[in-house]
Amino acid sequence: MHISCNKDELVYGVQVVSRAVSNKNTQPILSGILLTAENNKLTFCATDSEIAVECAVDVEVIEAGSLVVPGRYFTEMVKRLPSGEINLKSEDNLGLTITYDQSEFFINGFSADEFPSLPEIDENVQGRISQGLLKKIIRQTSIAASNDESRPIFTGTLMEIIDDRITLVTTDTHRLSVRKAFWQGNTDEEKISVIIPTKTMVEISRIISDEEEPITVIVGNNQVCFNIGTITFFSRLIEGQYPSYRHVIPDSSRCRSKVRIKTKRLLEATERASLLVRDELKEKVSLIKLNAQDDVLKITSYAPEIGKIYEEMNIFLEGEPMEISFNSRYLLDALKSVDSEEIYMELTGSLSPGIIRPVENDDYIYLILPVRTD
């Protein structure tokens, strides 16, 4: 293998795939990056057997070939190279010589044959969605996923595809986030639903841009694949049955109090109230009580050893007065991710789930379970 390229191209490729480089030592080959040079393209590839990322950049290929280089050393070295033309050359599978200016750096490598081949997707459905929109809906849902590995289902994001609608759902059982969006897809099946590790979703949202440019999503039986031109991202799916989230969402006809609130005002009040955390008991979340009556929302929080807070704000209340307690963090997450100047809070009782959604539409629903105090 022998190529000539620019430093920036190398850095770009290395940074895209480095997130998939395994840092566990069980399979040393997985700590490497596979470099493949052909057709005037250099392809970078890394996998930790959970996700796999492939990225191609334009280079001048003098001699085609492939090699695996140790991920960490290669990445750190590439970042520190001087700008300008760089030559990568490997005579055999023993290592790679990086030549820059009048200098050279040699690093040991592994044979490309040892590197696992990327999964082949048995395609069930393929569709396109704008990168900016996908980024947003991942942000709105990933917050509600669980980190508790003992129940893997809840660490995942449910992706449901029905006709031209794609829905992402997450829950850690304390709150539930449901985000619907349109996409352009083709499927013969009535409904596709898969569970994707939320970590994967977050990684993808980091790679993609805020632009309108589309990203292609391919869903297979055991894998999902995202493709934006030069970058391909594979991830395994989480096996299992996602709980039926629709049953959890109270029917809007049963809603007894519908409160229209200015998002920023409530967010700021909640942030202040969140400070009253019982530090002594190492709680990370404060308890916040909302009381809606006569177009006024009272917000209180009380921690015996620290202090208390009382705030009032004007709201628009349809229906009965209502009092409900929430864990402040869950409420904060909702208010931060709703992306709307005003929200509706729909309540059906102080022990029933409360719903937060933007006033403009029903595309986003964030449901919080209350705290029972007595």
Contact 86, 98 (CB under 8 A): yes
**Closer of 136 and 175 to another protein (Cβ):** 175
Cα 297 from Cα 310, distance rounded (Å) = 11
Report the candidate in 175, 202, 138, 136 with the shortest Cα–Cα distance to residue 330. Answer: 175
CB of 210 to another protein, least distance (A): 31
Residues in region 15-44 near another protein by CB under 8 A: none
CB of 339 to another protein, least distance (A): 22
Query: What does the per-residue mask of binding to another protein show for 269-308, with x meaning CB under 8 A?
Result: ---------x-xxxxxx-x----------------xx---
Helix (H, G, I), strand (E, B) or coil at 254: helix
CB of 279 to another protein, least distance (A): 9
∠320-324-325 over CA atoms, to 5°? 170
**Closer of 191 and 372 to another protein (Cβ):** 372
Q: Tell me the C-alpha to C-alpha distance, in Å, between residue 131 and each of 212, 224, 371.
A: 6, 16, 37
Residues in region 342-371 near another protein by CB under 8 A: 351, 353, 367, 369-371
**Closer of 156 and 220 to another protein (Cβ):** 156
CB of 330 to another protein, least distance (A): 9
CB of 325 to another protein, least distance (A): 7
Q: Of the candidates 176, 261, 273, 292, which one interacts with another protein according to CB under 8 A?
A: 176
Q: Tell me the C-alpha to C-alpha distance, in Å, between residue 82 and each of 36, 74, 110, 316.
A: 23, 14, 26, 61
Size of site (CB under 8 A) for another protein: 30
**Closer of 190 and 304 to another protein (Cβ):** 304
Contact 130, 121 (CB under 8 A): no
Report the candidate in 202, 262, 249 with the shortest Cα–Cα distance to residue 226. Answer: 202
Q: Of the candidates 119, 243, 319, 349, which one interacts with another protein according to CB under 8 A?
A: 243
Residues in region 74-113 near another protein by CB under 8 A: none
**Closer of 70 and 353 to another protein (Cβ):** 353
The answer to whether 327 contacts another protein (rule: CB under 8 A) is yes
Contact 167, 159 (CB under 8 A): yes
Can you read off the two tokens belonging to residue 353? Answer: 């789930």
Q: DSSP for 102-165?
A: TEEEEEE-B-GGGSPPPPPP--SEEEEEEHHHHHHHHHHHHTTS---TTSGGGGEEEEEEETTE
Can you read off the two tokens belonging to residue 30? Answer: 């997985």
**Closer of 58 and 280 to another protein (Cβ):** 280
**Closer of 144 and 204 to another protein (Cβ):** 144
Per-residue burial over 299-319, b if 16 or more Cβ lie within 10 Å, else e, is bbbebeeeeebebeeebebee
Query: What does the per-residue mask of binding to another protein show for 195-234, with x meaning CB under 8 A?
Result: ----------------------------------------
Residues in region 136-175 near another protein by CB under 8 A: 148, 150, 171, 173-175
Tell me which residues touch another protein (CB under 8 A). Answer: 148, 150, 171, 173-176, 243, 248, 278, 280-285, 287, 304-305, 325, 327, 351, 353, 367, 369-374
